Structure 1
Amino acid sequence: MSAIVAVRYLLTSGGFAFWTAKRHPGLYANRRQIAREIGWSLASALIYGLPAGIVAWGWRQHGWTRIYTDPHAYPLWWLPASILLYLLAHDAWFYWTHRAMHEPRLFSRIHAVHHASRPPTAWAAMSFHWSEALTGAIVIPALVFLIPIHVAALGIVLAIMTLMGVTNHMGWELFPRALVHGRAGEWLITATHHQRHHRDYRCNYGLYFRLWDRLCGTDKGLGGF
């Protein structure tokens, strides 16, 4: 599973980095930074793979989880509802753990690894200290023991997690201006929103949604490139 996570990271981040080189030549000029991001990310992939492997083994061999394969085991409306519920739960976990890591002692010991990417690149999506990687690695595996989800819906959750992790760090905005500056952009996080976090640090802590930032007064709006 660690190898699968590592290959997924290399393909996804590598693909978006290649696209960036075509769209914005020279944007990723700091090769030492990129090498550091890849090194930390591959170490994080090892950590992410451990609980994922336990879940896969427990599901297949012992039926421990609430992952199901029959789409009719639950009402069909539960398929999209479970995806949204997983994303909301993950987003809440990420907001509070991420915000905690910006406290001075935790930041200097742990989260500074991620913020060493100035500006972040598509390779920085998993560039974490091992202890931060651990907090991110356990949340989805924990949810599958609590909330029923179809295996395909779980795949969608993981795909969204990967996509948002990469695109939020690209250093340029992938999504159209109408989305970013429209009604949807008031609640969804894209690179323009997360870029301000990397610039100003003590704001914009969310992963998918701006909900917790708005509720807690930490949403400082969109940044620029």
Structure 2
Amino acid sequence: MIFQASRHKLWQTREKKKKKKKKKKKKKKKGGIATAVAVPHWCDYFVIRRVISFFFFCSFKYHLNYSLSPSPILSVSSIMDIILELWDTFIGDRLYSTLLPASLSSSVSLPAFVNAAANTSMALFGPEPYVYEQATQMIYLEPSKYAYLSAWPRNNVYRQFTSFFLITWLFGLLVYFLVATLSYIFVWDKTTYNHPKFLKNQIGLEIRQAMAAMPPMSLLTAPFFVLEVRGYAKLYDTTAEEPFPYYSLIQIPFFICFTDFFIYWIHRGLHHPRVYKTLHKPHHKWIMPSPYASHAFHPLDGWSQSVPYHVFPFIFPLQKFAYVFLFGFINLWTVFIHDGEYVANSPIVNGAACHTMHHLYFNYNYGQFTTLWDRLGGSYRKPNEELFRRETKMDDKEWKRQAKEMESILKDVEGEDDRSYSADKKNL
């Protein structure tokens, strides 16, 4: 009732504002004054409040339908993440039993920090041996003998952190090189090498930047995954556990809307003069990005923009397989918006064309998936029509026009341009 009353009050105030605006417009027309162009209300309190209220309503309903889960320490194995179980079954068990065998856990020859970790593990989980419980009802993987032969059992917090660090790093490298290379070979237009703002040895620089960024990003991301598998997140397994009927059908678009909203503001914040040159400029070094620029940024820049993805399952329920799917999709999307293939001039989707506008002109199109928040925030810039026509997309005149406008904006954003552009044009 309180929620309905507050909504009714908001509706009444909004209607009053509309009536006042109509009266003002009528007065202007009578006085012979031309009506002004409507300015987008980028901080429209009503719109933003409605979006956030819906997000937290779903979370509140989840708490009403389901009681709080048991202590995470007591239910670690019952909620073990699917990815972690696959890793342990095929790689982790043998790796940890070899490096940290159980027979040596009490040996004085082991380094002090290893013994300390083993003792902490015993304090957390007690003297009882590790007992396997499957992560999901949909997959059953019988653990081998190696699962019980390490000083760090599967539910050891240090082992989980180390595993997730390696998984995030290696999976990130695999997706990055596989998808970016395929995109570079089959999608990316090699004529871009001749663009006046394509850097000297840019592909190599992009790869080097990405390789340097991934380990620290993985280190910062691993704690989120550890908290998830230890029971602090709202990840669920089957549809019987969803907060309300058909939630599983809307969770993915819901996830996209939630993350798109927060990434917009994080990305926009990274363009603040106080943090731009330190954190975000490394990614804007690439004026005409290639697919390899997708992960080429400062570690804190890339990690900060990924935080909404990891925060979501701590606030709202999310099915485990959907989470794995979304984790892969996000990595693919990051490559796709840097591949220079302007498939469609969509007014809704923030695709490669919109993101190219962002790299060229800096202070536009901060959104990740949609143009919604850029439109509300007054930062949307429609991609030039020339980008969608093959004959003009790679035309020298269009390139010179882009370069001239980019140079004028760059002076305000960065000052002097310290980039080294390619002097020799390649004929491909």
TM interval, shorter chain, is 0.7 to 0.9
For 1:150-161, what aligned pairs fall within 5 Å after superposition?
Answer: 150-161=319-330
Letter in structure 1 aligned against 2:226? I
Superposed displacement of residue 106, structure 1: 1.1
Task: Report Cα offsets for 1:76-112 as digits up to 9, x if no partner.
Answer: 5211311111111111111001111111121111100
Letter in structure 2 aligned against 1:138? V
Q: Does 1:39 align with 2:207?
A: no
Match 1:219 to one of 371, 377, 380: 380
Match 1:8 to one of 162, 171, 177: 171
Superposed displacement of residue 44, structure 1: 4.9
- Distance, in Å, in 2 between the alignment partners of 1:40 and 1:168 is 21
Superposed displacement of residue 187, structure 1: 0.9
Q: Does 1:186 align with 2:355?
A: no
- Structure 1: 5+ residue stretches without partners: none
Q: Does 1:208 align with 2:380?
A: no
Matched residue SS, 2:283: helix
- Structure 2: 5+ residue stretches without partners: 1-163, 194-200, 388-392, 394-428
Matched residue SS, 2:314: coil
Letter in structure 2 aligned against 1:65? A
Q: Does 1:148 align with 2:317?
A: yes
Task: Report Cα offsets for 1:135-186 as digits up to 9, x if no partner.
Answer: 234322222111011111212222221121111112333xxx4xx22xxx21
- Distance, in Å, in 1 between the alignment partners of 2:368 and 2:259 is 8
* Higher RCO by CA contacts (8 Å cutoff, separation 6 or greater): 1
Superposed displacement of residue 129, structure 1: 1.8
Q: Does 1:135 align with 2:304?
A: yes
Q: Does 1:69 align with 2:233?
A: no
**Native 8 Å contact 2:349 2:369 kept in 1:** yes
Matched residue SS, 2:321: helix
Q: Does 1:164 align with 2:311?
A: no
For 1:20-59, what aligned pairs fall within 5 Å after superposition?
Answer: 20-23=184-187, 24-25=189-190, 30-58=202-230
- Distance, in Å, in 1 between the alignment partners of 2:165 and 2:293 is 18
Q: Does 1:85 align with 2:257?
A: no
- Distance, in Å, in 2 between the alignment partners of 1:11 and 1:216 is 36
**Native 8 Å contact 1:164 1:207 kept in 2:** no
Q: Alpha carbons of 1:22 and 1:86: their partners in 2 closer, same or farther (altered >3 Å)?
A: closer
- The equivalent of 1:105 in structure 2 is 274
- Distance, in Å, in 2 between the alignment partners of 1:217 and 1:208 is 17
Letter in structure 2 aligned against 1:220? R
Q: Does 1:197 align with 2:366?
A: no
Aligned length: 213
Q: Alpha carbons of 1:166 and 1:48: their partners in 2 closer, same or farther (altered >3 Å)?
A: farther
**Native 8 Å contact 1:66 1:145 kept in 2:** yes
- Distance, in Å, in 1 between the alignment partners of 2:207 and 2:265 is 29
Letter in structure 1 aligned against 2:350? I
Superposed displacement of residue 130, structure 1: 2.8
Superposed displacement of residue 48, structure 1: 4.9
Q: Alpha carbons of 1:76 and 1:128: their partners in 2 closer, same or farther (altered >3 Å)?
A: farther
- Distance, in Å, in 1 between the alignment partners of 2:298 and 2:259 is 19
Q: TM-score, normalised by structure 2?
A: 0.46
- Distance, in Å, in 2 between the alignment partners of 1:11 and 1:101 is 27
**Native 8 Å contact 1:55 1:141 kept in 2:** no
**Native 8 Å contact 2:180 2:335 kept in 1:** no
- Distance, in Å, in 1 between the alignment partners of 2:192 and 2:341 is 9
- The equivalent of 2:405 in structure 1 is none
- Comparing 32-41 with 101-110, greater Cα deviation is found at 32-41
**Native 8 Å contact 1:196 1:204 kept in 2:** yes
Letter in structure 2 aligned against 1:162? N
Superposed displacement of residue 117, structure 1: 2.2
Match 2:295 to one of 110, 126, 132: 126
Task: Report Cα offsets for 1:24-57 as digits up to 9, x if no partner.
Answer: 4475763432333322442354245323432343
Letter in structure 1 aligned against 2:202? N
- Distance, in Å, in 1 between the alignment partners of 2:359 and 2:216 is 20
Task: Report Cα offsets for 1:41-74 as digits up to 9, x if no partner.
Answer: 423542453234323432xxxx221100012222
Question: Which of the pair has more CA radius of gyration?
Answer: 2
Q: Alpha carbons of 1:102 and 1:145: their partners in 2 closer, same or farther (altered >3 Å)?
A: same
- The equivalent of 2:400 in structure 1 is none
Superposed displacement of residue 9, structure 1: 2.6
Over aligned residues, Cα RMSD in angstroms?
Answer: 2.3
